[in-house]
Amino acid sequence: MQNSLKNLFPNFSNELLSSIAENATEQDFESGTILMRTGQYIKNTILITKGKIKIYREDEDGGEFLMYYLQPGQACAISMICATKSQKSQIMAKVDEDVSAIMIPLHLMDKWMMEHRSWYEFVIETYRNRFEEVLEVVDSIAFRSMDERLEFYLKRHQDACGCNEVKLSHQEIASELNTSREVVSRLLKKMEQRGLVKLNRNQIELLR
């Protein structure tokens, strides 16, 4: 663990890495697991070492709007933000690809801020990145129409998975954009006509 951690979190000091090794446990979660529910109290800060997590904002009617991805080398900003006052989670986190994660008890998260400069910097950096990412999401829904939002969605998927195949049904995409399947189908067809994608069953190939 120590070794791979050093690769995933290259800026962590050796003291910090030792503290992690002493105090934190690594846990595995299968694809589909809900790691955190809206309204639930948060017990740990999570560092991802393997796999992929999707962070959603939920509404009262069960809508699940995709906010962003968490990947190896990253941490859950929400869990850090909620640390100080054992706040409730305002988001839902679902495992997208089988995940290994390091679970850090919340009191340590707070304690280490003072003890480890590299932890402090990592936390601030995490805040900053997530804030930026959320602002981009706001852009996409505040200023753009559904066709552009769909392209934005596919682009982020591409960035997150590092490949050009989207193995999701139109229905799943529609849910994460909070629109309907028919709209997604229509827009994808148009994108296909523009030569941006190739449509197959349960799979969309991104051509650029």
Partner DNA sequence: ATTCTGCAGTAACATTTATCACATAAGCGT
Partner DNA sequence: ACGCTTATGTGATAAATGTTACTGCAGAAT
Nearest Cα residue to 111 out of 24, 2, 10, 4? 24
| Single residue of 28, 121, 182, 205 touching a second copy by CB under 8 A | 121
- Strands 44-58, 64-70: pairing is antiparallel
Cα 30–Cα 200–Cα 154 angle in degrees, nearest 5: 60
| Residue 145 interacting with a second copy (CB under 8 A) | no
Instruction: Give the binding-site size for a second copy (rule: CB under 8 A).
Output: 34
Tokens of 27: 């846990």
| Residue 78 interacting with a second copy (CB under 8 A) | yes
| Residue 87 interacting with a second copy (CB under 8 A) | yes
Tokens of 56: 């959603």
| Residue 142 interacting with a second copy (CB under 8 A) | yes
| Residue 65 interacting with a second copy (CB under 8 A) | yes
| Residue 125 interacting with a second copy (CB under 8 A) | yes
Q: Which is nearer to a second copy, 143 or 162 (CB)?
A: 143
Cβ contacts of residue 23 below 8 Å, gap of 6+?
A: 104, 105, 108
Q: What three-state secondary structure class fits 159? A: helix
Tokens of 64: 């699940």
Residue type, 40: Q
| Subset of residues 145 to 184 that bind DNA, contact rule: CB under 7 A | 145-147, 169-171, 178-183
What is the binding site for DNA (CB under 7 A)? 145-147, 169-171, 178-183, 185-186, 188-189, 199-202
Binding site for a second copy (CB under 8 A): 57, 59, 63, 65, 67, 77-78, 81-84, 87, 90-91, 113-114, 120-121, 124-125, 127-128, 130-132, 134-135, 137-139, 141-143, 178
